[in-house]
Chains A and B, each alone.
Chain A
């Protein structure tokens, strides 16, 4: 990790330490906009901070630690798409979006979308679109990858449906497109350029989800250890029981492994001779491992907390539900491992 990224972690942790776990979306959004976090990976020549994916992932990790409810991940994904795509008036868009006065959403899971014959109208449903009710537009790509575009949510043929999830720290929506006519001025890319962009965006999303999961896992493990130190039974703190200590140690190893892989992959990102294909696989490995570590930590932590972990007043369940949802966002856990195996079998 570079010194710059490490400092970013430290300052973000300090800032976020001052607000509640799962703090209100509307209270947090202006704060992170003021801090310039929305322009973290925007290149410097476009007025951003130029800290790349490694910088963005540092923030995703810290936000994951605090169960942030803001749609930071989709917002930065849309901004990334706008930076890389071909959009008239890009400067004005970036200004509004990085200032947080406008929000373009993006699906957090793979969505079945296609263009109708004539390539003008969009059909299908974008799923897991976070805080869509606060967004002006949604950034989507078609399943075939040959079109990446922004679509205004108030356009005819576009409907949003709230889809409440067990995870209450994020508000998800489906955006249904029934022959919504694309605005040419809002198409970011078509053809091979769109395919490259869509692959890159899906990979950025996997890395972001991995970071978010790694942060959440580390934070809940800290809370669990703290609880075991405080809670007394049989006249001693639970933390004295080796059976419990060893489980915590195993969870620590899992979270460290996930973090090490994520950071190692982020550090190598620019050097992959295999280009996007190699970065894609690295993103899948990072996502697979981090989400599976998050699942293990949240499942075990609930058990380690005992009865209190089953109550809604305790935060355990918030992490558990978030971890369960994360497994299904981005590339699913199963397709991540299948893809890794496929690529490996093809070249060995």
Chain B
């Protein structure tokens, strides 16, 4: 059988499984609800997907569900979007960031210790960003001091998704202050129940608290929980960040296309279905959304054929973020005053829910997190267009 036949038969199989298994009415159930019910839904949904083998298609052969090609993984993500199934927000860091880092850079012992737990539903979070190290991640200051066979951690992390529910954390900390900032970092695995770890959820502008701060006060981590060598943390972190390989944006751009009817519904609800100006805006948005899907698709195909070039991923991310802003902003403007009245938001529903003011505010997640639009523009201009980096002249002056 050819590869194309394989992916098409997988598509049929996944589609029919999703028709049977997608929790019905999850959007309604998740609207205006508390975080505990959200976590319950996520756990149930993860359990079903994992049992069917669809949670770990990217894991190597030999693991349950593993050994799928990138083309097959793409099919699964596309079908999940098509079925409007919940996103696995709570488990994404475990399944992708943690597992891929361990598979690529971890020891055999670490893989045996942690991968079965991830498969059983352990929740992981990421401890990279700090209050003073966002876009400039390499300047992070959380200290990991070697004392015998342990590291002693002191400092603070922030923007850690769902850290309040996490069992473990991927921690990037500084073991060395000398030399270039990237060179002094070390990558560690932390048990979130260790003494000295404090988690504080961050209340967002939408009222949600998907992120948290993590404080470390003399937290001990055994040396065998280090991934890679001491001072090699930056390279390991790159493996973490590269782990989702464009699949998320394939899924999210498809979901955005399936969400376009929300705009049509809003136009009808507000009596603007025949308004020429609004129609033109919708028409332009449709073209933008289609282009976003085409870009995400093209990017993944390039990855499959090994033709990815520097900056390609940044183009997709930037285009998606801008289009999402346009999408949600249009919905908000059509909704008018009605859209400004408070309504409880929907948890775990990606970005387009029709609760436009919330959707609009949430669209900033995509233009700030995971490399802000500004960082993507730097990458595009420097690595694709060949424009020079700014000189670090400010550092040479009186500061530092």
Residues of A that sit less than 8 Å from B by CB:
221, 225, 228-229, 237, 239-242, 245-246, 248-250, 252-253, 256-258, 260-261, 263-265, 285-286, 288-289, 292, 334, 336-342, 344-345, 348
State whether A348 touches B261 (Cβ < 8 A): yes
Q: Which A residues touch B391, using CB under 8 A?
A: 240
User: What are 20 sample pairs from A and B whose C-beta atoms fall under 8 A apart?
Assistant: A225-B385, A239-B388, A248-B385, A252-B384, A253-B318, A253-B319, A253-B322, A256-B295, A257-B294, A260-B294, A260-B297, A264-B293, A285-B287, A336-B287, A337-B280, A337-B283, A337-B287, A338-B280, A341-B280, A344-B283
Which chain B residues numbered 258 to 282 have a C-beta less than 8 Å away from chain A?
A: 260-261, 264, 267, 273, 276, 279-282
Whether B120 is near chain A, meaning CB under 8 Å from some CB there, is no
Q: Which A residues touch B281, using CB under 8 A?
A: 337
State whether A342 touches B279 (Cβ < 8 A): yes
Given contacts A240-B391, A252-B380, A337-B281, 15 further A-B contacts (CB under 8 A): A240-B388, A242-B390, A245-B385, A249-B380, A256-B295, A260-B294, A261-B291, A265-B294, A289-B291, A292-B284, A338-B280, A340-B282, A341-B283, A345-B264, A345-B267
Given A225-B386, A250-B377, A257-B319, does the pair A341, B286 have CB atoms closer than 8 Å?
Answer: yes
State whether B390 touches A257 (Cβ < 8 A): no
Expressed in whole angstroms, the minimum distance between the Cβ of A257 and any Cβ of chain B is 4
Whether B290 is near chain A, meaning CB under 8 Å from some CB there, is yes
**Residue among B273, B276, B376, B380 having the largest count of chain A Cβ atoms under 10 Å:** B380
State whether A229 touches B387 (Cβ < 8 A): yes
Given A229-B387, A348-B261, does the pair A253, B276 have CB atoms closer than 8 Å?
Answer: no
Q: Which B residues touch A289, using CB under 8 A?
A: 287-288, 291
State whether A245 touches B261 (Cβ < 8 A): no
Whether B374 is near chain A, meaning CB under 8 Å from some CB there, is yes
Expressed in whole angstroms, the minimum distance between the Cβ of B77 and any Cβ of chain A is 17
Expressed in whole angstroms, the minimum distance between the Cβ of A345 and any Cβ of chain B is 5
Q: Which A residues touch B256, using CB under 8 A?
A: none
**Residue among B280, B291, B295, B374 having the largest count of chain A Cβ atoms under 10 Å:** B291
Expressed in whole angstroms, the minimum distance between the Cβ of B352 and any Cβ of chain A is 14
Q: Which B residues touch A241, using CB under 8 A?
A: 390
Interface residue tally of chain B, by bracket?
Answer: 35 or more
Residues of B that sit less than 8 Å from A by CB:
260-261, 264, 267, 273, 276, 279-284, 286-288, 290-295, 297-298, 315, 318-319, 322, 374, 376-378, 380-382, 384-388, 390-391
Q: How far is the CA of A229 from the CA of B264 in the complex (A)?
A: 45
Q: Which B residues touch A339, using CB under 8 A?
A: 283
Q: How far is the CA of A285 from the CA of B264 in the complex (A)?
A: 18
Q: Out of B376, B384, B387, which one reaches A239, CB within 8 Å? A: B387
Given A253-B322, A256-B295, does the pair A338, B279 have CB atoms closer than 8 Å?
Answer: yes
Cβ-closest chain A residue relative to B278:
A341
* CB-based closest 7 A-B pairs: A337-B283, A264-B294, A245-B381, A340-B283, A249-B377, A249-B380, A341-B279
Cβ-closest chain A residue relative to B298:
A260
State whether B387 touches A245 (Cβ < 8 A): yes
Given A225-B385, A261-B291, does the pair A252, B284 have CB atoms closer than 8 Å?
Answer: no
State whether B287 touches A225 (Cβ < 8 A): no
State whether A344 touches B286 (Cβ < 8 A): yes
State whether B378 touches A245 (Cβ < 8 A): yes
Q: How far is the CA of A263 from the CA of B386 in the complex (A)?
A: 25
Expressed in whole angstroms, the minimum distance between the Cβ of A146 and any Cβ of chain B is 27
Cβ-closest chain B residue relative to A242:
B390
Given A261-B291, A338-B276, does the pair A246, B283 have CB atoms closer than 8 Å?
Answer: no
State whether B287 touches A288 (Cβ < 8 A): yes
Q: How far is the CA of A200 from the CA of B76 in the complex (A)?
A: 35
Q: Which A residues touch B288, using CB under 8 A?
A: 257, 289
Q: Which B residues touch A253, using CB under 8 A?
A: 315, 318-319, 322, 380
Q: How far is the CA of A240 from the CA of B391 in the complex (A)?
A: 8
Q: Which A residues touch B377, using CB under 8 A?
A: 245-246, 249-250
